[in-house]
Structure 1
């Protein structure tokens, strides 16, 4: 699912996408762009739509992650019994600052 977001400081429109691939009982969700108030719920829905017990949330191409994204991620961790999150450097920093850097679902990179 693609979502065109607001224009950044340099006049470029940010593009968000969240795609889900299902392999048996394992869903892999690849998220790209900015996860914020306008896109966080779409990320959550992409990860829960397949209703798979094992979910890998690949955030390695996420450039911006705000408090709405953190809230969606916490909801997802509560919803998915086996969640693995692959963070980008920016996401890792936000999660570390927010006190979530040691969660068992957060992969070390």
Structure 2
């Protein structure tokens, strides 16, 4: 369920988790991450759905879990949700190092 408030933000509720995201062109633009530990999640509201925005969100997730050797990301099929975004945003060495910490899982195209 998505509701639009007077501030231009969207409030979403999904299975008891609360997500706040920006509305861009009437559509919510957000990403959220959950830990297997109950009650822990990160929310990333962005102005757009560009490669740099995705790269910064991925970097923030990696910083939140510094001891994790592998972080699983479940993503829709947006073309920016790929390791190439990290490499383009941070350069080859740093981008590859960051991308190697993630396992990318994309939802089926018919479900995106």
What TM-score range do you get, normalising by the shorter chain? 0.3 to 0.5
**Structure with bigger gyration radius:** 2
* TM-score, normalising length: structure 1: 0.45
* TM-score, normalising length: structure 2: 0.44
More RCO (CA 8 Å, sep 6+): 1
